[in-house]
Amino acid sequence: MTTPLTLSDPQQQGGGLDRRKILTGAAALAASAVTMKTASAASVAPLGQTGAPTTASQPLPLGPLPGARYPDARLESMKKPKVSFGPTGFPAFAGTMAVERVATGFRWAEGPVYFPAGRYVLFSDIPNNRIMRFSEDDGHVSVYRQPSMNSNGNTIDREGRLITCEHSGRRVTRTELDGSITIIADKYNGKKLNSPNDAVVAADGSIWFCDPAYGIGGYYEGIKAEAEQDKKNVYRVDPKSGDIKVVVDDFVEPNGLCFSPDEKKLYICDTGFTDGPDNPSHIRAFDVDLAAGKLSNGKVFAEIPKPSITDGLRCDRDGRVWCSVGWGDPNEDGVRCYTADGDLLGKIHIPETVANLCFGGQQRNRLYICGSSSLYAVYTSAQGAMKP
């Protein structure tokens, strides 16, 4: 606040100016100018890094993938079919269908979630700093939110609200039904989170999310920064108090996660292999005490053949686990399906590295697959678990 220059009382000062006040006011103005100069020199990071739009002269074609026929050879069963009408024992096969590319033109598609009330899929295009929307009824693709703070994983809670993990925001947010955004978690023990990656909501409203360091490793999918957390944890947010606590702290890079349909198991990917060849590339399964908000008895559920990794997964109503595969052998790019006991049932081959997936459709029998620059879909003979 500046001190104004004022005229003195002529009767007190003989009709002249008050020199002391003039000097005081001038000094205050000079100090204010320095402050303003300092403030104008300060800068803040943008709302997430924004990539240049993808400009492909010949976009990838939409519709069934080239060469598709019934039964689609891209669906590979680990069990020999007993009948000619598709691979027996692998619930990806639904008869007269094939893998389709339903949208394309993204830099890195991730974090799909289906909203049944609107019949649309939301998914992140992380480097382009936006959340996209694919309308299932007419195939229309549009931008749902930009900037998105380099959003990654998305899910939906029991009230139909969007839960989002943000790389550059280093936080988990909830989009309320009126469009406002609530910060669910951005700190733990007074320190910033690394870069929340994926989340899931339990029946009691608790939010469970993982916090690897991918979003602060550079400027492509977030904003480069130093990690403030000593470990890369998995957290639980209490639905009543909002308190945040660590439920697992021994992952190298915790990634995608999902509950079993009965919420007695929590599956979590570890993509630590990206940090070194001796680190894990697998899915771990934990016993869940939902009331106490605790995990126990963690064990490896499925190993992913290196150099491939899996960073997204969902369960169907029968407890099978469907997970993404990518970054390694192109012949392994796509989706794997495991029984609840960890036996591999089959694969869906996708011509791009796959990051994540979700079930959708009015019968929850359509599997949406985020494959690098495109969104793919395939009808299955399974139904996604009703709880995300």
Predicted local confidence at residue 9, as pLDDT: 42
Q: Which pTM was predicted? A: 0.87
Predicted local confidence at residue 253, as pLDDT: 97
Q: How far apart are CA 253 and CA 364, in angstroms?
A: 30
Predicted local confidence at residue 251, as pLDDT: 97
SS3 of residue 197 by DSSP: coil
Question: CA-CA distances (angstroms) from residue 87 to 55, 95, 301?
Answer: 39, 10, 24
How many residues does the structure list for the chain? 388
In the chain, the largest separation of any two C-alpha atoms, in whole Å, equals 114
Question: CA-CA distances (angstroms) from residue 17 to 25, 28, 158, 206?
Answer: 13, 18, 72, 69
Q: How far apart are CA 26 and CA 33, in angstroms?
A: 11
Predicted local confidence at residue 53, as pLDDT: 76
Predicted local confidence at residue 129, as pLDDT: 96
Predicted local confidence at residue 166, as pLDDT: 97
Whether residue 127 contacts residue 152, with contact meaning beta carbons closer than 8 Å, is answered with: no
Instruction: Return the DSSP state at 249.
Output: -
Whether residue 278 contacts residue 219, with contact meaning beta carbons closer than 8 Å, is answered with: no
Residue showing tokens 């349909």: 261
Q: How far apart are CA 93 and CA 72, in angstroms?
A: 8
Token pair for residue 85? 């009408």
Nearest to 333 by CA among 323, 343, 345: 323
Q: How far apart are CA 381 and CA 26, in angstroms?
A: 80
The total of other beta-carbon atoms located within 10 Å of residue 41's CB is 7
Whether residue 388 contacts residue 201, with contact meaning beta carbons closer than 8 Å, is answered with: yes
Nearest to 238 by CA among 246, 230, 229, 226: 246
**CA dihedral sign of residues 291, 296, 302, 303:** positive
Nearest to 169 by CA among 154, 189, 147, 188: 147
Nearest to 358 by CA among 113, 100, 185, 172: 113
- What are the residues whose beta carbons fall under 8 Å from the beta carbon of 22, sequence distance 6 or more? 5
Residue-by-residue pLDDT tens, the chain, 388 positions: 443 333 334 344 444 445 555 445 555 544 444 444 444 456 777 788 888 877 766 778 899 998 888 888 888 888 765 444 455 678 888 878 899 999 999 999 999 999 999 999 999 999 999 999 999 999 999 999 999 999 999 999 999 999 999 999 999 999 999 999 999 999 999 999 999 999 999 999 999 999 999 999 999 999 999 999 999 999 999 999 999 999 999 999 999 999 999 999 999 999 999 999 999 999 999 999 999 999 999 999 999 999 999 999 999 999 999 999 999 999 999 999 999 999 999 999 999 999 999 999 999 999 999 999 999 999 999 999 976 5
Nearest to 59 by CA among 113, 23, 105: 105
Residue showing tokens 């996660």: 257
Predicted local confidence at residue 79, as pLDDT: 73
Instruction: Return the DSSP state at 274.
Output: G
Nearest to 99 by CA among 357, 353, 350, 356: 350
The total of other beta-carbon atoms located within 10 Å of residue 226's CB is 8
DSSP line for 292-311: TTEEEEEEEEEEPPTT-B--
Q: How far apart are CA 292 and CA 296, in angstroms?
A: 11
Predicted local confidence at residue 68, as pLDDT: 84
Q: How far apart are CA 136 and CA 141, in angstroms?
A: 9
First-to-final CA distance of the chain: 54
